Chains A and B, each alone.
Chain A
Amino acid sequence: MTALALPTGVDLHLYILGTLLAGAGVTVVCTAGALVLSVAAAALLAGLQSFGGVAARVCVFAYVEFFRAIPVLALLFILYFGLATIGLKMSPMPAAILGLGLNGAAYCTEIFRAGILAVPSGQSEAARAIGMRRWQVMRWIVLPQAVRIVLPALTNLAINILKNTSVASAVAAPEIMFLARNLVNETYLSPQIYLSVCLVYLLISVPMMKLAGWLETRVGVTAAKR
């Protein structure tokens, strides 16, 4: 990078824009991957919590409390730098997605648990009264309604994961923050570049915040009517 001369003028703007957009793409991929991992793991954990015995519930509690109490940065360092010393080398992106996913799963488990509890008990009573078994009640009556209820919270979780991807820059994941830092080292245009980065984040997060708000009003209406 230092061997090549820095482009100037319009080319410079295009270079910066291109780099930031590439970074944004990686950021989105990272967020999506971590979100999928979070939801999948949380579904498993929430299931264990609801249907498992005392031992299962204790394990889920330990997992949730631990991964909510440690900073994401520490977790990423452990996964990327720490595990390498015992032979488990990971490249930056998998480490980032794994770390963000493990962290996200902890929050998501709580979201799922709250969602299931939010379905009025009368629903499962009515379902039981027509002879449904517990798994049928879950499958046909409780879970479909719980999913609607948790959508706003899940959207907010997605926004948080998006913001957390910035921390992955510390383990050299090629997302927008990392690329921005390199750009600043090259061009010294730090205020412009960091503001642009903020703008890019806002372009993704503000629509998501609006979506969460809209989902909340829709869920709120149906919940209030009961």
Chain B
Amino acid sequence: MARNLETWMPLLLSAAVQTIELMLIAYAIGLVAGAFLVAMRLSTRRWLAATAGAYVTAIRGTPALAQLFFIYFGLAELGLVMSSYQAAIIGLGANAAAYVAEIYRAGIESIPRGQVEAARAIGMRTPMVYRYVVIPQMVTVVLPPLCNQGIVLLKETSVASLIAAPELMLRTRELVAESYMPLELYVIAALMYFALAFPLAQAVRLLEQRLRHPR
């Protein structure tokens, strides 16, 4: 067993790094695209708002796996071929964007209307209202849900293994195919995800407590 671990661990660890990379890139895309989405969602032009709303509903109502399959296999059939890594980044990023947009929206709507009215009453236009009144207060509200979404994204990367994107789950499957030891390997993989996700989850919990009772 120890000898197996010696051969496995370096491979699994490098795959874990790939997982983290994948997660961070998709997350960055999600954070940025989500901001655009929420801007569209809250726009006064109805077709923009409706389109963004439909997108968010479509993403949140379907599994990420189906989205990845469509992007990787479906688009290839229509002529748009890409590597599994690219498909994973686009798919997971587009997926995250929808959830992030909803988090942003909840944050914006948590600011009491009265403050926005007061800001307008002293002559601020919308961009200023956002810059000085909404966003500074929004930050504390959206930070914990955004962090939780990051943790979700980390676990979601495992699904990309099913389109053969290079990350931890795929590497584990390859090792299982070689060694015929699925129990040990999949448990180790699970523990590695745990080692990443659990501390992050506790950190978020601490963050939430600190934000609720700033001392």
What residues make up the interface of A, taking CB atoms closer than 8 Å to B? 65-66, 68-75, 77-78, 81-86, 159, 163-167, 169-170, 177, 180-181, 184, 188-191, 194-195, 197-198, 201-202, 205-206, 209
Contacts and interface: CB of A to CB of B under 8 A. Distances in A.
B169 A71 contact: yes
A71 B65 CA distance: 13
Interface of B: 57-58, 60-67, 69-70, 73-78, 151, 155-156, 158-159, 161-162, 169, 173, 176, 180-184, 186-187, 189-190, 193-194, 196-198, 201
Given A188-B77, A194-B66, A70 B197 contact: yes
Contacts of A163: 62-64
B182 A77 contact: yes
Given A85-B181, A194-B70, A195-B70, A69 B197 contact: yes
A198 B183 contact: no
A34 B61 CA distance: 18
9 contacts: A71-B193, A72-B155, A81-B183, A85-B181, A163-B63, A190-B73, A191-B70, A194-B70, A198-B58
Given A167-B159, A191-B70, A86 B76 contact: no
Nearest to A194: B70
A71 B74 contact: no
B77 to A, nearest CB: 5
A70 B190 contact: yes
Contacts of A70: 155, 190, 193-194, 197
A81 B194 contact: no
Contacts of B184: 82
A190 B61 CA distance: 20
Given A65-B201, A202-B57, 5 more contacts: A69-B193, A81-B176, A163-B62, A169-B162, A201-B66
A75 B62 contact: no
Contacts of B76: 190
A205 B61 CA distance: 5
B183 A83 contact: yes
A66 B62 contact: no
B149 to A, nearest CB: 13
B63 to A, nearest CB: 4
Contacts of B180: 85
A71 B60 contact: no
Contacts of A164: 63
A195 B71 CA distance: 10
B70 A206 contact: no
Nearest to A163: B63
- Interface core residue of B62, B77, B184, B198 (most chain A CB under 10 Å): B62
Contacts of A84: 182
A86 B63 CA distance: 32
B65 A191 contact: no
A39 to B, nearest CB: 21
Residue of B61, B76, B162 ringed by the most chain A CB atoms within 10 A: B61
A196 B197 CA distance: 34
A2 B184 CA distance: 36
Contacts of B57: 202, 206, 209
B102 to A, nearest CB: 11
Nearest to B67: A198
Contacts of B63: 163-167, 177, 201
A167 B197 contact: no
Nearest to B195: A69
Nearest to A79: B186
